[in-house]
Amino acid sequence: MTLTSLERPTLPPTRLAEPDWRSRERAHAERADALTAAHRERASRGEKHPVWDFLFTYYSYSPAQLRRWHPGPGVELEGADRDARSAWRWYTAGSTPGSLAVDHAALEREKAPLVRGVERILRSTAARPGRFGCFGLHEWAMVYRQDEHRHPVPLRLGREATDAVVESHELRCTHIDAFRFFTPDAVPLNRFAPTRETQPELEQPGCLHAGMDVYKWAMKLGPLVPGELLLDAFELARDIRLLDMRASPYDMRPWGAEPVAIETPEGKAEYVRRQRAFAERSNALRALILAAWQGDRVGAA
């Protein structure tokens, strides 16, 4: 059993001098601004983008939320009581006058079901072997035998050929938040029947959507995750999203996404190669988030 927050060993805090943490905070804001600049410019013009809007609509976190830096638990920020952060939720006085630190114990107590659920997802997904035989067909299953589909983008192969690709493969989707968008005719073709309840048992690191969701879990943990790791998770979600759309049945070439033609042997090989690399990146981030959040509780049993 994992140690609870109340059993967390008391360790000496890491103290950051004000110039040091303000430098990290500025670097974080600049990196976040660079990552969201194109989206913010499009939004100011009311312009939609079928590849990148997903990162701000499906994951309904604003650029401003992404821009907010936290040091993570166990770090005291000297002189922070004079900063706007003194009014932020989940911060408390540090052990030295004028310092602030993340109040991880209070957050974990108040949001116990959430943090337990996120920890379970992160740990169980990382511990499970990846599956690499789905070839991104979840997107194809979302348009199967439908005259109209969710995105106002033409199908690269047309409807009949798209349906034929689905019918010539076994669907192996393990992710509930992809499976729930399958068309009614595609649902019985899937090897698995994911539900919200079985998500911790089915989630696995080869799944592109599970990799993108590392960003969601990091955001849900809020100040328990250092800002640098949050931005790493966002970059991972961005990179996976591009492959997801390149391997989809949609013709995304007008938006700069050249197809990964998973209906061909070459396309399958490219998809799996990239999928394996993303599985490694996502598992590395899961471990780093748990380590930063929980310190030497990582691996506790």
> pLDDT tens digit string along 144-201?
999 877 778 999 999 999 999 999 999 999 999 999 999 999 999 999 999 999 999 9
- Quick check: 301 pLDDT over 90? no
Give the sheet arrangement for strand 91-93, strand by strand: 14-16, 75-77, 100-102, 91-93
pLDDT confidence of residue 294: 84
> pLDDT tens digit string along 15-51?
999 999 999 999 999 999 999 999 999 999 999 999 9
Mean pLDDT value across residues 218-246: 97
> pLDDT tens digit string along 63-120?
999 999 999 999 999 999 999 999 999 999 999 999 999 999 999 999 999 999 999 9
Q: Report which of 107, 94, 99, 75 is spatially closest to residue 221, judged by C-alpha positions.
A: 107
Q: Is-contact 126 283, C-beta < 8 A?
A: yes
240: confidence class by pLDDT, cuts 50, 70, 90: very high
pLDDT confidence of residue 151: 75
> pLDDT tens digit string along 260-294?
999 999 999 999 999 999 999 999 999 999 999 98
CB 212: neighbour CB atoms within 10 A?
Answer: 26
How far is residue 182 CA from its own chain's centroid?
Answer: 21
How far is residue 54 CA from its own chain's centroid?
Answer: 12
pLDDT confidence of residue 150: 72
Strands 75-77 and 91-93: unpaired
pLDDT confidence of residue 7: 41
- Quick check: 4 pLDDT over 60? no
pLDDT confidence of residue 11: 54
